[in-house]
Structure 1
């Protein structure tokens, strides 16, 4: 039930969900309280305009993603831990497992292993299913992809039961404790890294951030240069901006809740 509520309740305070709630309130009040209804509609419109604005969305994402920018000169470690949330299962008509937007996590983890950064690749992630159908854990699917990229099965360790970031860290700690492994390269999306890194450190790991899946990456050849067309378009509401703003808001909300629960 906690897992279900943790997924459901935040939807009502994310921009799209909250705007829908405000519009429903407006419909209920439109005859008896027309001014209140007008206010609710105006607030819903303002909320969507702000959260789907490119400047706002980029700024909020950057506040998370740019905390750990040293992605090149990473030190060696005892293991590379890759967090799930990046693989779609092989259900028809998919001919094979599909990569989600966060699929860079597995690619980056495999690349770090092949570069000799650690002798062990740990893949952490179960799979949340709201249907009766069963499928492999995400850790197993990530292992299939990592093997296709050249990582030998003997160098991989799977943690297939975690359903959130706290469980990623707690179950991985149990998995690696018997091996005496504490120093790890932690691979996850740049936006997710601040929360994930804090949780893994709380579990006693000497975790080194190895972020990937950056969304805010300016052109180094043209720093700060944007055409008037680009600036004009950036003022227009776009669904991509709303999506990424919501993802960043989810991370900040997660940081707050995890802190209250003592997981950070």
Structure 2
């Protein structure tokens, strides 16, 4: 605003930058950084051997927010429905293998809605076929780091031989860092993968993917800084 001669180049640069994001050419590399190739394959529970689960298994499903509906009720976002489906499939496969299996749903209320993520997801998890006795709700964590911190004692108490973490591909890298920081070495169970469509025309989905990718990349950078400072 103060540099008059710089207004035009700044405006042109901003338009080009926005177009690169919205058309996917810049959004794609950002999303690829957030969800590296290791986590770009959805987990297939039916392809795993029975021995994968051990005698006791714990499946941790991480929260991904809640959507407020027109009638005031809350529902899981699109990404979370994929996490619910995979958690239910893993649980069914685990029970069929003869293991003792618990699903730990971790998610508090960072959006300050009427209920926590874990409590909101509960009805959908029950409809997906997971018995209430096999569901544990951890509904106080507000961050991925708190997810790992609050889940750790639940996993240790149940002496789980195998631990699965169920979340989206874009979130898995950060989740694995946090869980391993608390001495857990889970199996990454990717529920769904996001993709960017590149082209000439801008797409709202690409801007959303950019926002998600930046959120995750900043979270990963924050993790490493906090570890160096001794805060994590």
Give the TM-score normalised by structure 1.
0.73
| Structure 2 residue matching 1:206: 3-state secondary structure | coil
**Which of 211, 222, 231 is the equivalent residue of 2:190?**
211
Flag the 1:236–1:137 CA change in 2: closer, same or farther, 3 A. Answer: same
Separation of aligned partners in 1, 2:43 and 2:86: 10
Unaligned runs of 5+ in 2: none
Question: What residue in structure 2 maps to residue 19 of structure 1?
Answer: none
Indicate if the aligned counterparts of 2:42 and 2:192 stay in contact, CA closer than 8 A. no
User: In the TM superposition, what whole-angstrom CA distance separates every residue of 1:170-202 from its partner, at most 9, and x where no partner exists?
Assistant: 000122222223631110010110110111111
Greater RCO (CA < 8 Å, at least 6 residues apart): 2
Larger Rg: 1
SS at structure 2 position matched to 1:135: coil
Deviations 1:30-77 (A, max 9, x none): xxx211222321222122011112243234323415322262244326
| Alpha-carbon distance in 1 for matches of 2:76, 2:5 | 48
In structure 1, stretches of 5+ residues that fail to align are 1-27, 218-229
Name the SS of the counterpart of 2:59 in structure 1: strand
2: distance between equivalents of 1:174 and 1:150? 26
Q: Deviations over 1:151-172 (max 9, x none)?
A: 1000011111000100000000
Regions of 4+ moved over 6 Å: none
- The secondary structure found in structure 1 opposite 2:169 is coil
Q: Please report the TM-score for the alignment, with normalisation by the length of structure 2.
A: 0.82
Q: Deviations over 1:124-171 (max 9, x none)?
A: 0001245xxx62221112222111111100001111100010000000
Give the corresponding residue for 2:117.
138
